[in-house]
Amino acid sequence: MNETSLSSAEVPLRDKLAQLMFVRIGSNLPPVRSVEEDAARIEDLLKECPLGGLLLFNGQQDSTAETLSHLQSVARSPLLIAADIERGVGQQLRGEVLFPHAMAFSALGDEAEKAAHEFARLTGLAARANGIHISFSPVADVNVDPRNPIIATRAFGAHAEEVGRLVAASVAGYKAGGILSTAKHFPGHGNTHEDSHHALPTVTASREELLACELIPFQNAIAEGVPLVMTAHVRFPGLDPSGVPATLSQPILIDLLRDTLGYQGVVASDSLLMEGVKSQCKSGGELALKAILAGVDLLLDVEDPLETLAAIETAVSEERLSLERVEEAFQRVRNLRQQLPPLDANREEIREQSHTLAKRVARDSIRQISADKPLLPFSSDKSFCAVLLRPHQSHLDPPEQTLGAAIRERFGNCHYFELGASASPEEYAQVLANVMSAEQILIAQIVKPAAWHQFGLLPAQDAFLKELTQSRDCVLASLGTPESLDEYPAAGTRLCAFSDVPVSQRALAESIVLKE
């Protein structure tokens, strides 16, 4: 029986509680598995636990849509499929278009809002065509602290009003594309220098300071009708002196978000697998209960859904969790399905338009940060050496980054090297010797936010870069944060592309060569 046809009174309590949980399908973390490889596990789980939805990772263009369609056919209630697609559907589905990070959009100046809206619209259409209903974006954080290891270029910028305008444009764009959007991470994860994936950060700002900065983009999103708000696993003693993270804080989620800001939509937790919140409870069941009591409606990335379901069911029977609170959360999550419009989209047309926009954003967002010694454009006729510094590498990364091929296409007499985490002292010495003999030098670095990964250059990479910039004229480019360039003032010319996605790497290579 499809429970969407039942009145709320006809839906069993256990099923209502299950509807509040989303579990992941597929994973980019060990043990790595694709959506398709994980489908059988999810199908078995759905027989015992009628989940509200799935959080999708590591999918594939076309085949993932077929897998999701099958799971929908065996589910007791229609599943809501959600994904982290801040950079487009290609972030989770190989073969779809991958866009630059959000900060690249803010570098577009007067065109930023229009581009953000169009990106969100196209992403919504592409997502729905692949069976995805919820985008866990836009990031509404204001990147106040440049040391921030997990927000950084995922944010539109460091100025609240600008971030607010781009967040509002994104929410409107996602709605136009037929997908449900999420403003995250409430009440703001931008003023931290710790990653909540493995720690519990603290933001010391007062309520007044937060209202004047971090909360502005969330207010813009709410005014635009954002259907979901995601919580931050961050402490805000200025809002809740108890010291619990926002995900578990009634003063933050009820008193501030609902009563003061007037938000009426779904409150979703950030991943409950993250150490910033897991460390607060002895079990997944206790964590889920505390989150619901604090005001969370949707429990995201539940590790053991059957154990969690049993725990919160027991809490209801023992009157530690009221039926009224369960009904409130259930209705909010259930109503999300009613907000999804019918969709009839041309996949190939969406991909073509998305490719065009992604290339334009990548090209037009490249900024020259400084040029104490103007070295550009480079000549394709002179000897050239390029080095890419990569602090970490995932299993999804190619053996060589896109920048290598893009450089070779434009320079005949060139050498290209990559120095990663496993590079030996001998490799550094060999690369340095090649660089020193070149007439033209480009050093590119990837300093970007990534969960459970190194943020910033490794010590050996930093030492290599400082030695090189102090002894040779070179162009230094960041395929990530602009602040990462500040440590190397001796570089003759400094550029920022704000992102390391393939279109941004190609755009960087195109920007440094003399146009013929």
CATH number at residue 405: 3.40.50.1700
- Banded model confidence at residue 456, pLDDT cuts 50, 70, 90: confident
Q: Who wins on pLDDT, 155 or 452? A: 155
Residue 11: its pLDDT value, please? 95
DSSP 247: G
| 8 Å CB contact between 231 and 296 | yes
Per-residue tokens: 60: 């594939």
Q: Is residue 349 part of a domain?
A: no
Can you give the pLDDT at residue 286? Answer: 96
Asked if residue 9 belongs to a domain, the reply is no
Length of the chain (residues): 516
Neighbours of 32 (CB within 10 A): 14
> In the listed set 338, 354, 389, which residue is the last one of a domain according to the structure?
338
Give the whole-angstrom CA distance, residue 47 versus residue 177.
32
| Interval 235-280: pLDDT, tens | 999 999 999 999 999 999 999 999 999 999 999 999 999 988 988 8
Determine the pLDDT at residue 448: 87
Nearest to 77 by CA among 24, 129, 21: 21
Q: What is the rounded CA–CA span in Å between residue 304 and residue 287? A: 12
In whole angstroms, give the CA distance from residue 421 to residue 315.
Answer: 47
The amino acid occupying position 312 is I
Distance CA 87, CA 85 (A): 5
Whether 324 and 377 map to the same domain: the answer is no
Give the amino acid at 281: C
pLDDT reported for residue 301: 96
Share of the chain above pLDDT 90, in %: 88
Q: What is the pLDDT of residue 3?
A: 63
Asked if 148 contacts 196 with a C-beta cutoff of 8 angstroms, the reply is no
Let me know whether 111 and 229 are in one domain.
yes
- Phi, then psi, of 197 in degrees rounded to 5: -70, -30
How does pLDDT run across 179-215, given as a tens digit for each residue?
Answer: 999 999 999 999 998 877 878 999 999 999 999 999 9
Question: Which among 118, 120, 116 is positioned nearest to 136, based on CA atoms?
Answer: 120
Indicate if the pLDDT at residue 225 is higher than 60. yes
Per the domain annotation, does 414 fall within a domain? yes
Question: How many other C-beta atoms can be found within 10 angstroms of the C-beta atom of residue 304?
Answer: 14
Q: Which residue has the tokens 């009426």?
A: 264
Residues 285 and 412 placed together within one structural domain of the fold: no
The CATH number assigned to the domain holding 138 equals: 3.20.20.300
Instruction: Give 318's contacts (C-beta < 8 A, 6+ positions apart).
Output: none
Same domain, 37 and 171: yes
pLDDT given for residue 393 in this prediction: 79
Q: Is the pLDDT of residue 458 over 80?
A: yes
Q: Is residue 5 part of a domain?
A: no
In Å, how far from its chain's centre is CA 373? 36
Whether residue 441 is predicted with pLDDT greater than 90 in this model: the reply is yes
Whole-number Å distance between alpha carbons of 91 and 110 = 26
Q: Has residue 89 been placed in a domain?
A: yes
pLDDT at 4: 65
- pLDDT of 174 strictly over 90: yes
- Domain encompassing residue 28: 16-338
Q: What is the pLDDT of residue 282?
A: 87
**Residue labelled with tokens 């009440």:** 187
- pLDDT of 360 > 80? The answer is yes
Query: What is the Cβ-side half-sphere exposure of residue 288, based on CA atoms within 13 angstroms?
Result: 31
State yes or no: pLDDT of 475 exceeds 70: yes
Nearest to 367 by CA among 190, 515, 499, 514: 499
Do 299 and 393 fall within a single domain?
A: no
The mean per-residue pLDDT over the stretch 137-159 comes to 95
pLDDT band of 452, cuts 50, 70, 90: low
329-339 confidence digits (pLDDT tens): 999 999 999 99
Instruction: Please state the rounded mean pLDDT for residues 51-73.
Output: 97
30-39, 139-148, 273-282: range with lowest mean pLDDT: 273-282
Same structural domain for residues 164 and 257? yes
Mention every residue, 6+ apart, whose C-beta is less than 8 A from residue 183: 138, 140, 167, 171, 217, 218, 221, 222, 226, 228, 229, 230
β-strands 367-371, 493-496 pairing: antiparallel
pLDDT at 341: 95
pLDDT class of 392 with cuts at 50, 70, 90: confident
Chain-centre distance for alpha carbon 176: 21
| b (16+ CB within 10 A) / e for 179-207 | bbbbbbbbbbbbbbebbbbebbbebebee
d(CA 265, CA 226): 7
Determine contact, residues 140/184, Cβ cutoff 8 Å: yes
**pLDDT score at 495:** 98
Both 297 and 387 in a single domain? Answer: no
**What is the CA angle 331-337-339, rounded to 5?**
100
Q: What is the pLDDT of residue 394?
A: 76
In the predicted structure, residue 38 carries a pLDDT above the cut 60 = yes
Q: Name the average pLDDT for the chain.
A: 95
- H/E stretch holding 335: helix 323-338
Q: What is the pLDDT of residue 371?
A: 87
> How many separate domains does the chain show?
2
Q: What is the mean pLDDT of residues 394-413?
A: 90
pLDDT at res. 9 = 84
Residue 193 and residue 63 share a domain: yes
Q: Do 333 and 377 have their domain in common?
A: no
Domain assignment of residue 437, yes or no: yes
Supply the pLDDT for residue 145.
93
Say if 1 falls within a structural domain.
no
Question: Which of 299, 321, 338 marks a domain boundary?
Answer: 338
At which residue do the structure tokens 């993270």 appear?
245
SS3 193: coil
Which pLDDT belongs to residue 140?
A: 99
For 51, 90, 308, the CA distances from 38, given in Å and listed in that order, are 15, 19, 20
In this structure, the answer to whether residues 286 and 410 fall within a common structural domain is no
Q: Looking at the structure, tell me whether residues 114 and 208 fall in a common domain.
A: yes
What pLDDT score was predicted for residue 2?
61
Burial zone of 215 (CB within 10 Å; 0-12 exposed, 13-18 middle, 19+ buried): buried
Beta strands in 160-309, from DSSP E residues, in sequence order: 182-186, 228-231, 266-268, 299-300
Least confident of 41-45, 126-130, 137-141, 373-377: 373-377
